Amino acid sequence: MFTKILIANRGEIACRVIRTARKLRVHTVAVYSDADARSLHVEMADEAVHIGPSPVGESYLRGDRIVAAALATGAQAIHPGYGFLSENPDFVDQVVTAGLIFIGPSAASIRAMGLKDAAKRLMEKAGVPVVPGYHGEAQEIVLLASKAREIGYPVLIKARAGGGGKGMRRVEHPDDFSEALSSARREAKAAFGDDRVLVEKYVDKPRHIEVQVFGDNFGNAVHLYERDCSAQRRHQKVIEEAPAPSMTPALRKAMTEAAVKAAKAINYSGAGTIEFIVDASQGLKADRFWFMEMNTRLQVEHPVTEMVTGTDLVEWQLRVASGEKLPKTQSEIALSGHAFEARIYAEDAAKGFLPATGTLHHLKFPGVAPEGAAMRIETGVRAGDAISPYYDPMIAKLVVHAGDRQAALEALRTALAQSEIAGSTVNTAFLAALAADPDFAAGDVDTGLIGRHQEALTAVAPPTGEIISAAVLAASGAGALPSSDDPWSSLAGYAHFHGVARRMRLKFGDEQIQAKVSMRPDGRFQVALDAPYDSTNSHDFRAVPRLVRWPAHITVFEGAAGYAFTVPDPLARSDEAAAASGSLRAPMPGLVKLVRVAKGDAVIKGQILLILEAMKMEHTIAAPHDGVIAEIAGEGAQVTDGTVLVRFVEEQSASNSATS
């Protein structure tokens, strides 16, 4: 076993690797960028080395700096985590050339599976079924469009490099192919440095089921059963589970045998995942699954496999890389119970899952697992940490395990309802809605489920009068929560002979809230809300709501939802004039990738004005109304959250222009 390893990653996965290394008494070296100087993985590691500025291209993708850090600290091996350089064969070559061990597969194995088109040709030769499509080298648009017609619409355009849903577009009609191809290529180029694509038949009711495989350097390979990752938005996984619901013995046998066959075809060593697309339109059948791709690394969702098999896959990685055989044979690996993993992101589900940033002023997860279940919280952040625009906005993975699917699902719902995050927009309410969706609860899940139910799943219920009253009370100062050593805090609103009434003003989004807080003769506080609520709520400390105060805000928690109220500064200048000036601001930090209109152009409501790239994904900025462009950001401009992207000609000026 190694005595010291370097972890070439950050965040949640770096922390995950450190925990297992500690268990094995292996010392760890962290690497970090400017943005991560005070991050949790740096604090947890035995040593830490700075490798560059915040952008990934200047830090976590600098293989030379990572290798130099390993050599300087005396590390014997490098664990890549997932993402970044984990599936880069050139980096593996750098590591090996430096006399270090790469904790993962060989460069040859990664190259064999690194490009989807080449991998599918290899799998065809190995007898593994592949989805119908064009996986060739030619990339001319005329050829790709003709292949799409041969395959038959709808088709799926996919980047041949990388994963995570980037560079992927579904196309329903030939007229839309050109635009979808251009968009997929731009996104693939930005994410992976490779804009080549393949075209495949789109399966009508696809299930995304993957098999965890593991190989060693002695020719052994096993599977650790399957995971279902069909609950996806924008081709990115949201909730994963193991085993797959409604899995039949025949399909499981066929898929796991195919997965092991695929691993052995490339002499695979280490943790890997064989991803299959399954046609569930007529139930799960052994002849209706096809190879999609292989992830030659540890997957984000690996904890659900660990939960149902009782294994530590990171420990297996370290043991195999250090020269040991697989810890278990196939007959020794058994399934037990059911597990779910929910990915908690800083994102706004109601706005098309836009990534969000912000400081996590409050971060609290359940202290104990729901009754009858086991629970893991995998995270790389703490309260007070910031969600940076430079990296993936994942906050945590909430993982639960119970005896069966229904019990595990109930544990997931309970744990989500008890999680509290304030300071950034998060997706916990969406996750809770998905976990409660009747189709999801029944196990009738396919990759289109979220898209079909998106409006209902992402709907934001308005705050009730009780929630608003709790926020008003907290903002007034009268709602200071009492503690055992401060019996007088409950008298904060007391006045001799009569109650003191206080006018309060809050904001919820763009909505202004006016209220009056007073104290009743019985010692309870009373909150009277102005129109449109026109309600009165009395409050005592026997039923204190879940809420937290943070700078200029109060967040009230109701189940898995958090309602953030702004407490206006009465001395601050009103921004109403700015809001009425007719402009569009960047919803998040990003890069202006493409501009579709110019100054002076007349546009109509819904017309695409520009494309903003943020966190390696493209987001369209459309006109909210008809108007004339007065000013627009230039292509290549790097913008921050709130930067003015587009200004419209004022209405009077526009009408003058039209009549002149």
What are the catalytic residues? 297
Residue 170 and residue 156 in contact, taking contact as beta carbons nearer than 8 Å: yes
CA 296 vs. chain centroid, Å, equals 20
Burial of 99 (0-12, 13-18, 19+ CB in 10 A): exposed
Q: How many C-beta atoms lie closer than 10 Å to residue 191's C-beta?
A: 21
Q: How far is CA 606 from CA 109, 177, 319, 354, in A?
A: 46, 21, 56, 18
- How many Å apart are CA 22 and CA 10, to the nearest integer? 17
Q: How far is CA 219 from CA 260, 263, 265, in A?
A: 11, 10, 11
Residue 477 and residue 549 in contact, taking contact as beta carbons nearer than 8 Å: no
DSSP string, 120-154: HHHHHHHT--B-SEE--S---HHHHHHHHHHH-SS
Query: With the C-alpha atoms ordered 471, 475, 476, 482, is the resulting torsion angle positive or negative?
Result: positive
Q: Which of 225, 226, 229 is nearest to 206 (CA)?
A: 229
Dihedral, CA of residue 464, residue 468, residue 470 and residue 474, to nearest 10: 170
- How many Å apart are CA 298 and CA 492, to the nearest integer? 54
- How many Å apart are CA 383 and CA 360, to the nearest integer? 5
Instruction: Reduce the DSSP state of residue 44 to 3 states and report it.
Output: helix
**Run of H or E residues at 40:** helix 40-44
Q: How far is CA 496 from CA 156, 260, 491, 521, in A?
A: 73, 79, 11, 11
Residue 101 and residue 321 in contact, taking contact as beta carbons nearer than 8 Å: yes
- How many Å apart are CA 381 and CA 346, to the nearest integer? 12
Burial of 213 (0-12, 13-18, 19+ CB in 10 A): buried
- How many Å apart are CA 643 and CA 583, to the nearest integer? 10
Which residue type, as a one-letter code, is found at position 235?
Answer: H
Q: Which of 563, 564, 569, 517 is nearest to 538 (CA)?
A: 517
- How many Å apart are CA 164 and CA 12, to the nearest integer? 17
- How many Å apart are CA 425 and CA 444, to the nearest integer? 29
Residues in the chain: 660
Q: Which of 415, 461, 413 is nearest to 441 (CA)?
A: 413
